[in-house]
Amino acid sequence: MAKHFSFDNAAFHFTRTDGPPGFTWKYLLVYVGLSLALMALQIGLQSVLFGSSEEMELMLASGNIPPDMIGGIILFYLAAFITGIIFWAVMEAAIMRRYVHDSGFGLRLGGDEFRLMVVGLAWFATSLGIYFVVALAGAGLILPVVSLAGNSPAIVGVWATLVILGLGFLWIYAAVRLCAASALTIRDKKIHFIDSWGATKGRFGGLLGAYLILALIFGIIAIVGIATFGAAMGWDFSDLDALAFSMQPKSIFGLTAVFTVLFVIFQGLGTFVWAGPAALAAKTDPRHGGRSDAADVFS
């Protein structure tokens, strides 16, 4: 198990956990089973309420929504949001208990999960807030240049690119600094969010590097996997609209069943791996001396 925080330990922390064996396959079985069950439930509700997912998408895209369906659409998305955050909290708690306390796999709905739901809502609210701040800041920085140098598209394009990259980096910086919130919440059995800023102090570079490496690895796997499976399925990669539509899980029992299951396995494994760097940051909290047993000593 990783005893100290470093770029290498953060990136590959998922391979350096202690605790009872068999966690990964048990976790993936439950993750895939629950994901497919929720997917089937969603498809069933869509069929009952709107006829089909295609009809619902066309109706929403055209804006031609019958008044008697507005309430049903609101309830549908509200139920999907609530179900999604419960699912996330349950699986996130299991993952973080593994990383932080070296626990075996266990599925429950208790204090850990309800505290993580609050953390999830904090993430949602923060993301919305940052989105609006970035949008307003971007408009405030780009529009004046457009009015002054509108006849020079190159200048406007370069400036807009720099602004977008700069604001994007600020969002990434905030996300990385707040990434340890779930692990800290599981560690202390107390809701943490902003407190993650202290646990990640002086570790932004290591965490960002770890996430970039993991994103690169999973990106390559995704591209190769989609290309291989798409070739076998005869997908037309030259028509992106048709391709995106063909990849949607219209039915977990249809022709896309294998792709859907593989995608859910990939997603579940990615969720587990992605949590590793943040968990290590919490376990080696610099405010507690950077010790890997901080969760045991200070909980």
pLDDT in tens, 180-238: 999 999 999 999 999 999 999 999 999 999 999 999 999 999 888 877 777 766 665 66
Q: Which residues contact 83 (CB under 8 A, 6 or more apart)?
A: 38
- Biggest alpha carbon–alpha carbon distance for the chain: 66
Which pair of tokens denotes residue 43? 């498809």
- Place 2 in a pLDDT band, splitting at 50, 70 and 90: low
Closest C-alpha to 130, from 122, 141, 120, 142: 122
Residues 30-85 pLDDT 10s: 999 999 899 888 877 777 766 666 666 666 666 666 766 777 778 888 888 899 99
Predicted structure pTM score: 0.81
pLDDT at 98 over 70: yes
Per-residue H/E/C for 51-83: CCHHHHHHHHHHCCCCHHHHHHHHHHHHHHHHH
Contact 42, 80 (CB under 8 A): yes
Residue 243 has what pLDDT? Answer: 57
Rounded distance between C-alpha atoms, residue 66 and residue 133, angstroms: 34
Q: Which residues contact 33 (CB under 8 A, 6 or more apart)?
A: none
